[in-house]
Amino acid sequence: MSVDINAFVTRCDIGGGDGALSDLAVGVKDNISTEGVETTCGSRVLEGYEPPYDATVVARLKDAGARIVGKTNMDEFGMGTTTETSAYGVTRNPVDTDHVPGGSSGGSAAAVAAGDVDAALGTDTGGSVRCPAAFCGVVGLKPTYGLVSRYGLIAYANSLETVGPMARDVETTARLLDVIAGADERDGTCNSEADDYADAVEEPTADVTVAVPQELVGEGVEEGVRSVFEASLDSLRDEGAEVREVSMPSLEKALAAYYVIAMGEASSNLARFDGVRYGPGGEGDDWNDSFADARGRFGDEVKRRVMLGTYALSEGYYGDYYDKAQNARTLVRRDFENVLDDADVVASPTMPLTPFRVGEVLDDPMQMYLADANTTPVNLAGVPSVSVPAGRADDLPVGLQLTAGRFEEAKLLRVARAFEKAR
Amino acid sequence: MEQRIDADDVRHVAELARVEVTDDEARGFVDEFNDVLDYFETLDDVPDDVEAEDDFENVLRADEPEPSLSQDDALANAEETEDGYFKGPSVS
């Protein structure tokens, strides 16, 4: 390949040996701790940081014999939809290097799509696994909140984020989930038993009901993406699925609620980066100046979100933003519960548009945020969701997003596999 | 159109967040912040009386000491340490 897609921040070779994943070379997103291997979160603030311990998901990959061959590039601290905000350079989409790979797990998706690895771990706070999976034409799963341990994941927005597997097919994605899922005493939110997902995906699907929320297929969806989505629904119908239009009115509020909550949590979580315990220190006469100087190394998008989060949580504004956002979140969760009472999965285009050109939205954050309209509601509800390759529009990949009820990953991946075979 | 916040507000929030921004950066953030805050108006008509269904339970372990990170490992990434402690800037 003539253009370096820059999928990795650091190359390494750890793990390997016997186990269920001994045949796989895996990439791990650079916000997931790897003992002794630099972990930067795509930020200058953590340049040189070598975690003294493995994240639970990394320890489980190693125990299963996976070879971890690199730490993958990402939007700084996971804040972005394009993998352009990394301090270590832009990652490019291997399908067309003039375009972004999506984000924030763009390095993971690009490495999988380019064949540099067999599979990868990403993290998904508002779509950061599913967006790059869709943009690069691979499979990416955001598991149920609480199915996969977050111990050792460097936090951005704890109440929303999950670690998720990515691969070129549903089966490999399920094999990774088999290894990383399940209770971890080091993460108090992670105490559910896992299923056998790889076994489950090959079982036949019968009488699947697919709900399509009109709020996710409206004006914001590009024509080419809409055509691919319509064809995807036809494929599902051919497999015997019943497709229903539904309405989920709360989704109109979801994107704003997501950004208020994510920015609020970010402003608190990123307070720890003061240059004292890890990362390069700051200069200054007293601690305020020194911390502010160390934190001046944050890139623009991180500064934006930390500052907007600080503003939204400050006295006098809290009720207008954070309380409203939490209420909207409850309504979104209810809408998913109600729809999924009567349907097996919710379907929509993963992204309303095809991958941006490199540089296209870097200076227009609001445009970039709007692209997350279909992925962010899922994180507010905490339910599992997968993006599966659905075809191309303008020669660029389009993903189908399928979402199921809490802890229904086995069913979700089975429907995803049936779609993958049928398409 | 009246702007919600100006460059002084941005500098004030930057100070609260302990993030150094130059005057140029602060001016650059003004329009972006107003765009985003305008968009957050979407939330204005969300009802105030939504009951959150609370089906969460606290998960606690017995409060007994267990092996932890060694002091050396915990300090390994710090730029400055002294007598087994992190060394931070002086508090004025």
Given a contact cutoff of 8 angstroms between Cβ atoms, the answer to whether A260 and A328 are in contact is no
E strands, A234-384, in order: 242-246, 345-349
Q: How many Å apart are CA A390 and CA A187, to the nearest integer?
A: 35
Q: How far is B2 from chain A (nearest CA, A)?
A: 18
**What is the sign, positive or negative, of the torsion defined by CA atoms of A323, A405, A198, A81?**
negative
- Measured from the Cβ of residue A343, the count of other Cβ atoms closer than 10 Å reads 21
- For residue A112, is it within any domain? yes
Residue A325 — φ and ψ, nearest 5°? -65, -40
Residue A231 in any domain: the answer is: yes
Instruction: Please provide the size of chain A in residues.
Output: 423
Residue A150, in any domain of the structure: yes
| Chain B residues within 8 A of A46 when measuring between CB atoms | none
Which structural domain, as residue segments, surrounds residue A346? 8-248+330-422
Start-end of H helices in B1-92: 7-16, 23-39, 71-75
User: Which of A197, A176, A63, A64 minimizes the C-alpha distance to A119?
Assistant: A176
**Rounded Cα distance, A36 and A314, in Å:** 38
| Type of residue numbered A359 | G
What gap in Å lies between CA A41 and CA A50, rounded to an integer? 12
Closest listed residue to residue A347, CA positions, set A256, A269, A253, A418: A418
Cβ-defined contact of A277 to B17 (cutoff 8 Å): no
Q: CB contact, 8 Å: B67 with chain A?
A: no
CA distance A29 to A78: 10
Instruction: From first to last of the 423 residues of chain A, give the pLDDT tens digit.
Output: 468 999 999 999 999 999 999 999 999 999 999 999 999 999 999 999 999 999 999 999 999 999 999 999 999 999 999 999 999 999 999 999 999 999 999 999 999 999 999 999 999 999 999 999 999 999 999 999 999 999 999 999 999 999 999 999 999 999 999 999 999 999 999 999 899 999 999 888 878 999 999 999 998 999 999 999 999 999 999 999 999 999 999 999 999 999 999 999 999 999 999 999 999 999 998 999 999 999 999 999 999 999 999 999 998 888 889 999 999 999 999 999 999 999 999 999 999 999 999 999 988 999 999 999 999 999 999 999 999 999 999 999 999 999 999 999 999 999 999 999 998
Could you give the ipTM of this predicted complex? 0.94
Is B55 an 8 Å CB contact of chain A? no
Instruction: Assign residue A238 the CATH number of its domain.
Output: 3.90.1300.10
Q: Which residues neighbour A223 within 8 Å (Cβ) at sequence distance 6 or greater?
A: none
Sign, CA dihedral A324-A330-A333-A338, equals negative
Is A49 within the bounds of a domain? Answer: yes
* Residue to substitute from B70, B75, B79, B85, interface A, most A β-carbons within 10 A: B79
Q: How far apart are CA B71 and CA B64, in angstroms?
A: 19
* Tokens 């992204």 -> residue: A351
User: Is position A283 within any domain?
Assistant: no
Q: How many domains does chain A have?
A: 1
Would you state the torsion angle of the CA atoms of residues B16, A305, A129, A344, taken in this order, to the nearest 10 degrees? 100
B7-45: in CATH 1.25.10: no
Active site residue A128: yes
Q: In which element (H, E) is residue A237 found?
A: helix A223-238
How far apart are alpha carbons B75 and B77 in whole angstroms?
6
Of A312, A314, A324, the CB nearest to B46: A324
- Rounded Cα distance between A229 and A237, Å, is 12
Backbone angles phi, psi at A321, to 5 degrees: -110, -65
Residue A159 tokens read as 């109440």
To which H or E segment does residue A364 belong? none
Does B2 contact A at CB distance below 8 Å? no
Q: What residue spans define the domains of chain B?
A: 7-45
